[in-house]
Structure 1
Amino acid sequence: MSTEADGTTFSDDRAPRTDVNKALMGGATYRSLSEQKLSPQEERFEKARRTSGYVLAPLAAVAVWCVPLDIEAHQQSLAAVLAAVIVLWFCETVPIPVGGLIGVSAIVLVGVAPASDVLAPFGSPTIFTFVGAFILAQAMLKHGVAQRLAYFVLALPGVGKSTVRIIVAFGVITALLSALISNTATVAMLLPTALGILAVIARMMQEKGLVKPDFDPTRLRVGTALMLMLAYGAGVGGLLTPVGAPPNLIGRGLIEEATGERITFAQWIGAAAPVSLVLFGVLLLVLLLVNKPEVRRIEGVEGYIAERRAEQGSISRAEWNTIIAFALTVTLWLLPSVAGVVVGMDSSTYEFLDDRLNEGVVAVVGASLLFILPTNWSKRQSTLNWSDASKIDWGTIILFGTGMIFGSLLSSTGLAETIGENLFGTLGVGTPFAITLLAAFLALMISETTSNTASAAVVVPIVLPLAAAAGVDPMIPAMAATLGASFGFMLPVATPQNAIVYGSGIVPITQMIKTGIGLNVVGGLILVLMLPVTAGLVGIGA
């Protein structure tokens, strides 16, 4: 007797029995695309894509350089370099940060601007915001603070008895953590726990005869839903704060540089939080419609989580130190905005706090505390050492710096203005809604095929003058492009978190595409419709 997994009992003593633990937990918990066993078609495509950059990047540069354009020579030189870098980013011929560095070097070599001017953005306060936030995140990961929070949420009453509640809980955990630490690190950290819970669910289904004895536990719909919730929940949560995702800091920096207006930490949260909340609801709905779990009620997960929490023990001194440093940093980030609401933006108190509590400086102060607060005074051991700090994502910091350089030069050379005016003349978009729609979906489409950080670095500098040429306040369209750059729900190459869950072997590419298309379209429309309202309520673009 045998049917599909629809509640009907299977019984076939002759069939071999799947070892669920080996199938789900026997391999590495993180495999990049290059470490996966690709199909012949996928392997051919990846090789062709990466190899093509060696030819296409120089051709793109030469083509733009030689085509007679009615622009100044230094603008055309910058456009040629940028064209080559974009090709390198799309093809991933070299690591994406290295592609940025090649472009920065080429800018100086072809004489677009002197090295001192080109490299100035690497001294931006936002670079220090990145460094400080990454070091704080490293402490959370090293000492298990993030993992403890995850187990706490999963252990809440009733969560472990329902597959839907577990999927929702994982989404909430991922979104909250991704608002404060790297999306990639969050997903990589939670993946082993998700695989462990999936193994419990798969064994339960096997023991109750809900699947064939030799079923493939990597192809359960509940597993696909759980894995995609990890990846997509991180993307949605990363929108919440300026430090939630690299495109946020890049876009905000470019907006502030171009407009001279500042977007505070609290303003960003006020504008992005309602959008993220609605997006999370849409994510859950689409995810469960496309990947409906085979079972609703489950047993054994609560015991699994209880065992993991017991292994953690009580909160250590290092964890308390990390919590103190992180809490102080977030408090100081929000303090100027809170003071502005309480005593007014024109008060001397607000001006003092706003002037002194620069976000980059605050991040560095918080990170520095981790090297001061002791865990063992007799041995002079602090919460972190420099070996820990050296493990942060320096590639993203380099990519951010190069992205800021391109954005700054696009503005200073006038090339961005030229592109914006030509786009305005060609497309004829002239309303705030049309420009915001164009900005969001352009960033979203580019982020599907290259780094979301690179997407923000390319699209935002073009959107700003496009809006200006149309006589539209550029703040909202540029912020829509910034947030849209973090979407990328459709393909494994779109974001690192997509690559991680795809690399687990649990998510078929067809299901990622089917789920991602719906999220891209509906999510993009929600962003375009909601952002002007929420941003206006907190004084952005007003």
Structure 2
Amino acid sequence: MSTLTTVTEQPPKLAGEERFDYIRGRFGLIAALPLLIGILVLPIDMPNPQQAMLAVLTVVVLLWITEPVPIPVTALIGIALLVVLGVGTPQEVYGSFGSATVFLVIGAFILARAMTVHGLDRRFALKVLSFPGIGNSTYRTAAAFGVVACILSMFVSSSATAAMLLPIGIGVVKTIGDLIQEQNPGIKTNRTKFSCLLMLSIAYGASIGSVLTPITGIANVIGRGTIERMTGYKVELFDWISMSAPYLLVMGAVMWVALILVNRPEVKHIRGGQDYFRAHYADLGPMNRGERNVLVIFLVTVVLWVLPSLVTTFGITSPIVTAFTDHLNEGSVVVLTAGLLFFLPRGNGSGESTLTWTEAAKIDWGTVLLVGAGLTIGTMMNATGLAETLGTTIARATGVQSSWVLALIAIVMGLVISETTSNTASVGIVVPIIIPIALAIGVDPIIPAMAGVFGANAGAMLPVSTPPNAIVYGSGYVPMIKMIGTGIFIDIICIPLIFGAVVGIGSLIALHV
């Protein structure tokens, strides 16, 4: 095994941040019940189910923003209240948990878990980082981490990507930090601008990569599922990528410029950094059977995911082909392919399958619950008529008349809310509001709703904005002022970029109901 430096301790969370979280949580806890009761008894001209739905929605949004309890717990409490308060029957309220979107998340999480169990994600990361010329430059090392995070998060969740790369990054910060100090005696700490640059590269790379497809990013899954439930329109994979790919490329360059401007490393060149990555990659040894099984299953899943879009794009009309692809629902595909991992032998002589249920059961069930609850809220807002009522009221109050103005509002709403709560919660709040506003003013709702989804994914200023931000902030190598300074720059630039990608390209590809 390599004798290179590893890091097991992480600096503690700053006391000021803990105090802010405590005050925010206490406020939400104290205000939730009075707010719920107040809206329920408010004398407003609204049917009882609508008023109860409004009360639950308001309290859920409050608790998502203040987080006195974990966000998935709030989601569960919210949907239970929908039944208790008579908003809908148990079958209507809990029916969304049988959605293909929920099973898409479960299957994707199991597949991602298999990658982590067998170290396939780590192998890929270290292989890229050991390429010639990367480890000897602080700029190229940080950029490589960002690129790796971006690519991995296209296929694995952004939070899993950041969590996987964090210990590698901390080891690099420690080892390369020691090398920097040896070569530059004036630098007395590993908490350098380079360490901040590297950590933020991981966070922002993971966040932006998850935007590419509607499948990997949980906010994307919730947004797309809500759009489909409220409008009956499904945003196809290729249509999504047509908008997200140009945005990703330009936004990636903008993020890198922002990172460099705020966190320019103290030194450019280091000696011995390349050896660090190569030694750790060598420690992995050759790819074993378990890794090969996971890789093959992953590739098969991707092919089956894109096949229906390819058939549509190239105008293939064969009855056999179309009959087959019409049933290739993304959720069913990944559940079936992930299920094969429990049949394929691990190949290490243990008699175990490539993935055991004990290993698979460690997926993030909280996010699964959040996805189901988010779909439930959108469905019940439609069923009770609250979505239409809110849309009409807000449209009259704001005077919005055009699709592009509404799209701009959706971007800003998604961005601002994601900076105070998570991107998943932001999508769950913004999309169910934007769609009825669009319908109320007589414009197609798809582009404004998609703008809200992209906006919610763009939050970069605070640890709470996205899971990768929170993960790297917890390392202690990212001062709050640095994250805010970099994030403000990114937030401002992303608004016109999202507008161009969603409104501009979305209009060109005729994205509408």
Identify whether the pair has TM-score above 0.5, normalized to the shorter chain: yes
Q: Secondary structure at the match of 1:374?
A: coil
| Matched residue, 2:215 | 243
Q: 5 Å matches for 1:98-497?
A: 98-212=73-187, 215-218=188-191, 220-344=192-316, 348-349=319-320, 351-376=322-347, 379-497=350-468
Aligned residue type for 1:279:
M
Distance 1:379 1:311 in 2: 22
Q: TM-score normalised to the size of structure 1? A: 0.91
Structure 2 residue runs without a partner (length 5+) = none
Residues 282-324 of structure 1: CA deviation (Å, up to 9, x unaligned): 1001110111111112221110011001100001100000001
| Matched residue, 1:87 | 62
Contact 2:346 2:355 in 1 (8 A): no
Residue 25 (str. 1) matches residue 7 (str. 2)? yes
Residues 102-156 of structure 1: CA deviation (Å, up to 9, x unaligned): 1111111111111111111000011110010000000111111111111111122
Aligned residue type for 1:216:
T
Distance 2:149 2:50 in 1: 43
Contact 1:343 1:349 in 2 (8 A): no
Q: 5 Å matches for 1:38-53?
A: 38-39=14-15, 41-53=16-28
Contact 1:182 1:245 in 2 (8 A): yes
Distance 2:510 2:153 in 1: 25
Aligned residue type for 1:38:
L
Q: Secondary structure at the match of 1:25?
A: coil
Distance 1:209 1:341 in 2: 56
Distance 1:460 1:179 in 2: 22
Task: Quote the offset at 1:180 in angstroms.
Answer: 1.1
One of 474, 480, 502 as aligned partner of 2:473: 502
Aligned residue type for 1:305:
F
Residues 59-80 of structure 1: CA deviation (Å, up to 9, x unaligned): 2212222222222221011101
Shift of the 374–96 alpha-carbon distance from structure 1 to 2, 3 Å rule, reads same
Distance 2:17 2:202 in 1: 24
Contact 1:237 1:244 in 2 (8 A): no
Task: Quote the offset at 1:179 in angstroms.
Answer: 1.2
Distance 1:191 1:464 in 2: 38
Distance 2:198 2:124 in 1: 18
Task: Quote the offset at 1:532 in angstroms.
Answer: 2.0
Q: TM-score normalised to the size of structure 2? A: 0.96
Task: Quote the offset at 1:490 in angstroms.
Answer: 0.8
Shift of the 499–466 alpha-carbon distance from structure 1 to 2, 3 Å rule, reads same
Distance 1:378 1:147 in 2: 23
Structure 1 residue runs without a partner (length 5+) = 1-20
Task: Quote the offset at 1:535 in angstroms.
Answer: 2.7
Distance 2:122 2:507 in 1: 36
Contact 1:339 1:349 in 2 (8 A): no
Contact 2:311 2:322 in 1 (8 A): no
Distance 1:45 1:100 in 2: 23
Distance 1:119 1:102 in 2: 12
Aligned residue type for 1:174:
A
Shift of the 379–148 alpha-carbon distance from structure 1 to 2, 3 Å rule, reads closer
Aligned residue type for 1:251:
G
Contact 2:108 2:216 in 1 (8 A): no
Aligned residue type for 2:189:
D
Aligned residues: CA RMSD: 1.8
Contact 2:406 2:438 in 1 (8 A): yes
Task: Quote the offset at 1:264 in angstroms.
Answer: 2.0
Shift of the 533–59 alpha-carbon distance from structure 1 to 2, 3 Å rule, reads same
| Matched residue, 1:78 | 53
Distance 2:108 2:49 in 1: 36
Distance 2:39 2:320 in 1: 52
Residue 531 (str. 1) matches residue 502 (str. 2)? yes
Q: Secondary structure at the match of 1:487?
A: coil
Contact 2:13 2:476 in 1 (8 A): no
Task: Quote the offset at 1:232 in angstroms.
Answer: 1.0
Task: Quote the offset at 1:513 in angstroms.
Answer: 0.6
Residues 463-518 of structure 1: CA deviation (Å, up to 9, x unaligned): 00111122221111101111221222111122221111111110000000111111
Aligned residue type for 1:439:
A
Runs of 4+ aligned residues of structure 1 deviating over 6 Å after TM superposition are none
Contact 1:336 1:350 in 2 (8 A): no
Task: Quote the offset at 1:210 in angstroms.
Answer: 4.7
Q: Secondary structure at the match of 2:233?
A: coil
Distance 2:268 2:169 in 1: 17
Task: Quote the offset at 1:528 in angstroms.
Answer: 1.2
Identity %: 43
Task: Quote the offset at 1:537 in angstroms.
Answer: 4.3
Task: Quote the offset at 1:188 in angstroms.
Answer: 1.0
Residues 132-187 of structure 1: CA deviation (Å, up to 9, x unaligned): 00000001111111111111111222222221111211111101111111111111
Distance 1:458 1:57 in 2: 17
Contact 1:57 1:88 in 2 (8 A): yes
Task: Quote the offset at 1:533 in angstroms.
Answer: 2.6
Distance 2:54 2:101 in 1: 25
Distance 1:47 1:407 in 2: 30
Distance 1:350 1:468 in 2: 36
Task: Quote the offset at 1:241 in angstroms.
Answer: 1.1
Distance 2:128 2:185 in 1: 28
Aligned residue type for 2:497:
I
Contact 1:274 1:534 in 2 (8 A): no
Distance 2:275 2:288 in 1: 23
Task: Quote the offset at 1:198 in angstroms.
Answer: 1.8
Contact 2:244 2:501 in 1 (8 A): no
Contact 1:161 1:301 in 2 (8 A): yes
Contact 1:290 1:514 in 2 (8 A): yes
Task: Quote the offset at 1:88 in angstroms.
Answer: 1.3
Distance 2:410 2:135 in 1: 41
